[in-house]
Amino acid sequence: MISSRRNQIIAQVFLFAMAVLWMLPILGMIISSFRPYAETSTDPNGFFSWPDTLTLDNFRNAWARGNMPRHWFVTFLVVIPAVILVLFFSSMVAFAVSRYSWKFNIALLMLFTAGNLLPPQSIIQPLFQIYNRIPIPEFAPYSNSGELRGSLIGLILIHVAFQSGFCTFVLSNYMKTLPKELNEAAMVDGASLWRQYWQIVMPLTRPALGALATLEFAWIYNDYFWAVVLVQKGNDLPITSSLRNLSGEFFTDDNLVAAGSLIVVIPTILIYLALRRQFISGLSVGASKG
Amino acid sequence: MVGVPTFLHVSLIWVPAICTFLLSFTNWNGFRFDNMEFVGLRNYKQLFTVFEKDLYEALLNNAWVLIFLFVVATPLGILVAYILDKNLRGTAVYQSVFYFPVVLSLAVVGFIWKSVIYSPRQGVLNVLLNRTEEGNQISWLGDSDQVITLVSDYGLSKNFLAIIAPMIWRHVGYIMVLYLAGLKAVDPSLREAAAIDGSNEWQSFKNVVFPSLKPVNIVILVITVIEALRVFDIIDVLNNPIGTDVLSILVTESILGESSNVGRGSAYGVMLLMLCFGFVVWYLRSTFREDDA
């Protein structure tokens, strides 16, 4: 309870000042991406100066020089199947673990939860060697190297394996809150295990699945590490990790960097604005116990 | 139903985790299996002698990240959550503003801060300090001089502090969201009781609200530790300037760089595993304790 009026004003001022500070990098990125570098870099006030010209040149350059259409294409080839598979796999495990009691339930759930908490870099040395040695068929798309390493399939698989830890944990917590009688009734009616999962439990889990889909989309879209190490080849990198190629080339022109960053960030901004509540509930579901 | 997902998870996460341990006792270069020799603790001995400087710098930098996220970002996030929980005017807007950085990848965050805040010729900092002319500029990401010196060569370099700042920027919103969810669940009668007993705002937070949020506090602690151990993207995307090594960079160096030393890389990996291990176990215990029954 904020008791006095004075405290309330202090709180408001504090929040406002902090919000301005927090917006600064984003606003700065937007403003400078529309201005020519020749103009902002010669003015002592940088991009705070009053603009003479506004231009889309930075976006055009970033788009072309960063080979972005290609990276976008690859991004969606990875993110969409990965999100779908993660949710499919983890909901099955969560269903088994939360709806039926058998001996290894807790152990299995702990295995998944702990797996997601490991720093990815701590397993990368052996994983890289494993990826180097697993052949994949030549007809598989985007697999020029012939091995899991460098292929988009390999990238999708590691996302699914790693993220299924978190999703299994969240989904099993959610499914535990559904009444047990549902399954019992279904069993009496002779519904198969698959039907119980797909037609009874899954529809009821939709809110959690929605929140997780949003969160996982953002996380997999934002991945940098897995792609940089396991794909490496410049052209096949999804957009976030392709920033690595740009870092050398772009660094002479800050407004170009800003425009490039803005292009990469736009899908996240759009999804965030549309589904803010999903994001937040996804995170808090994960944090609290069901 | 459980088989395929579990197989995938175990073979791509847990098998490599165990292999990291095993490989750290070998001198393997990653090419053919017949060059692999068991060398005992040699890799570890080298880490603490030949590569001593790299290792200590990295460990220290990981520790700095943890300290700053803990001492600056976490209290700020809790404070913001606490204020926003009062439903002041504009709560929803503030929440969106603070949460927004959390949905960005740290790699992009690095790019944004590099161009907007740290740019020597036109960045916010140099403009405010009036240091934008050629020759007079401050290079925020290029200066590896120490801000804080602990022992001769070891301390906190200026450019690493510049890399920590955007991490704080991003972490505050994360903590805020987690805490807000927790605060909503606190029984209001607890606070009323505290107020009736005459405790002031700080006392009631410290003695009533904070202890009742123990599960959230544990989550925050674990997330912050793991975040500090995982940090990689932002350093790599900024080309890993001198003075900014962390453990995850050292592990990956031999894959992305020229040399290929699986043994040593794995030894660094084992250090990462050991550092997070205790927290993971603690988190699991606190999360699954009730379920055991």
According to DSSP, the residues that pair with B151 across neighbouring strands are: B154
Predicted pLDDT of residue B290? 59
User: Per-domain residue ranges for chain B?
Assistant: 1-50
Cβ atoms of B115 and A32 closer than 8 Å: yes
By the CB < 8 Å criterion, does B154 face chain A?
A: no
pLDDT in tens, B50-85: 888 889 999 999 999 999 999 999 999 999 999 998
Residues 180 to 199 of A: which have CB under 8 A from any B CB?
193-194, 197
Burial of B196 (0-12, 13-18, 19+ CB in 10 A): exposed
Under the banding of pLDDT at 50, 70 and 90, the label for residue A235 is confident
By the CB < 8 Å criterion, does A265 face chain B?
A: yes
Burial of A178 (0-12, 13-18, 19+ CB in 10 A): middle
CB contact under 8 A, B216 and A288: yes
Q: Which has more confidence, A38 or B18? A: B18
> Which listed CATH number (1.10.10.60, 3.40.1360.10, 3.40.50.300, 1.10.3720.10) goes with A66-287?
1.10.3720.10
By the CB < 8 Å criterion, does B129 face chain A?
A: no
Highest-confidence segment of A32-36, A150-154, B136-140: A32-36
Distances (CA, A) of A154 to B12, B197, B216: 10, 60, 35
Predicted pLDDT of residue A187? 82
In A, minimum Cα distance to B222 occurs at: A117
Q: How many CB pairs lie under 8 A apart between chains A and B?
A: 305
pLDDT in tens, B91-116: 888 988 999 999 899 999 999 999 89
Query: How many angstroms separate the CA atoms of A215 and B278, rounded?
Result: 27
Residue B22 has what DSSP assignment? H
- State ipTM: 0.89
User: Per-domain residue ranges for chain A?
Assistant: 5-59, 66-287
CB contact under 8 A, B13 and A162: yes
Residue B257: count other Cβ atoms within 10 Å of its Cβ. Answer: 9
pLDDT in tens, B255-281: 887 667 888 899 999 999 999 988 888
Task: Give every CB contact of residue A255 below 8 A, 6+ residues apart in sequence.
Answer: A32, A33, A35, A36, A37, A40, A47, A58, B115
Predicted pLDDT of residue B32? 80
Among A224, A221, A281, smallest CA distance to A247 is for A224
In B, minimum Cα distance to A166 occurs at: B9
Q: Choose among A11, A118, A228: nearest Cβ to B273.
A: A118
By the CB < 8 Å criterion, does A30 face chain B?
A: no
Q: Choose among B20, B229, B288: nearest Cβ to A110.
A: B288
Residues in chain A: 290
